[in-house]
Amino acid sequence: MADPIKVYPSKPRKVYYFGTCLVDMFYPDAGIAGVELLEREGIEVIFPQGQTCCGQPAYTSGYHDEARAVADAQLDLFPEDWPIVVPSGSCGGMMRQHYPALFRDTPRETQAAEIAGRVWELTDFLLNVCHIKLEDLGEPVTVAMHTSCSARREMGVAEVGPALLRQLKNVNLVEQVRPEECCGFGGTFAVRHPEISSAMVSEKVETLVDTGAREFVTTDCGCLMNIAGYAEKNEQPLSGEHILSFLHKRTFQKP
């Protein structure tokens, strides 16, 4: 049986945009970049104003009732049969993979499963639904790529970011050693197990710096915050950017 994540729909006229908490609070430029990339592809973007959290922090901490209450508030935000795009493999994975189980044997079971089936990680949507073609307008640069665990394992998009970056003629993409290893963020994991998380992000920063790149891009803001924050605190020559902001910066003409 084919993986349903890889049965791509035709390019739609409209999409819903689920912005995520970290984009909303810390990286709004990434959210806006995603909207403008979609609009440039001729897609109308609907941003439901009532959206909050997908429920993942409570869910991964074992508080399933609390997670269900948070997630329940999102279910009525997407009434039309349009794709729901998410600029995060982590939040996308929560909605696509865990909503059906979270609402199983509840009155919302059918609705949650239907919504889950419409959820797409945004870079995957741009590449494989919009078939986006990128023209690089930036100066030559070397970058490394970090794909979050959820984007890699739950949403199956480990090759999507590199494929988009390889469209950019002036971007030299270098690969880190053990690219599949976690950065140590893991949502509440970093708070509950700070010593282990710190050891993991230290190793991740070291492998990124060892590539020779001085900039990395990632599909998830949690990883971005964790890796870039550790590098800055420890005076490592490494800065980070969400891939959507990076793609936007290099492919939009400045006014």
| Mean pLDDT score of the chain | 95
HEC profile for 190-234?
A: HHHCHHHHHHHHHHHHHHHHHCCCCEEEECCHHHHHHHHHHHHHC
Q: For residues 44 and 124, state if they share a domain.
A: yes
Write down the pTM of the prediction.
0.95
At 3, the pLDDT band (50, 70, 90 cuts) reads low
Length of the chain: 255
Q: For residues 117 and 150, state if they share a domain.
A: no
Which has the closest alpha carbon to 230: 240, 220, 244?
240
pLDDT per residue as tens digits for the range 118-172: 999 999 999 999 999 999 999 999 999 999 999 999 999 999 999 999 999 999 9
pLDDT per residue as tens digits for the range 234-247: 999 999 999 999 99
The confidence score (pLDDT) of residue 2 equals: 41
pLDDT per residue as tens digits for the range 50-98: 999 999 999 999 999 999 999 999 999 999 999 999 999 999 999 999 9
The confidence score (pLDDT) of residue 255 equals: 64
The residue from 83, 99, 128 where one domain ends is 128
Q: For residues 113 and 162, state if they share a domain.
A: no
Q: Is the pLDDT of residue 4 over 60?
A: no
**Residue 99 falls within a domain, yes or no?**
yes
The residue from 68, 95, 128 where one domain ends is 128
For residue 55, the Cα-to-chain-centroid distance in whole angstroms is 15
| Total of domains in the chain | 2
CA distance 98 to 194: 26
Contact indicator for 78, 84 with CB cutoff of 8 Å:
yes
Contact indicator for 174, 146 with CB cutoff of 8 Å:
no
Q: For residues 118 and 187, state if they share a domain.
A: no
The residue from 104, 128, 152 where one domain ends is 128
Q: For residues 170 and 230, state if they share a domain.
A: yes
Q: For residues 29 and 81, state if they share a domain.
A: yes
Q: What DSSP letter does each residue of 97-136 carry, written as one string?
A: IIHHHHTTTSTTHHHHHHHHTTEEEHHHHHHHTS------
At 1, the pLDDT band (50, 70, 90 cuts) reads very low
Looking up residue 176, the CATH number of its domain turns out to be 3.40.50.1860
Looking up residue 108, the CATH number of its domain turns out to be 3.40.50
Residue that is written with structure tokens 């950065």 in the block: 183
Can you give the residue range of the structural domain that contains 104? Answer: 4-128
Rounded to the nearest 5 degrees, what angle is found at the Cα of 21, between the Cα atoms of 15 and 26? 110
The confidence score (pLDDT) of residue 125 equals: 98
Q: For residues 160 and 65, state if they share a domain.
A: no
Q: For residues 57 and 114, state if they share a domain.
A: yes
The H or E element containing residue 189 is helix 189-192
Q: For residues 101 and 151, state if they share a domain.
A: no
**Residue 133 falls within a domain, yes or no?**
no
Contact indicator for 120, 148 with CB cutoff of 8 Å:
no
Residue 155's φ and ψ, nearest 5 degrees, are -100, -10
The confidence score (pLDDT) of residue 32 equals: 98
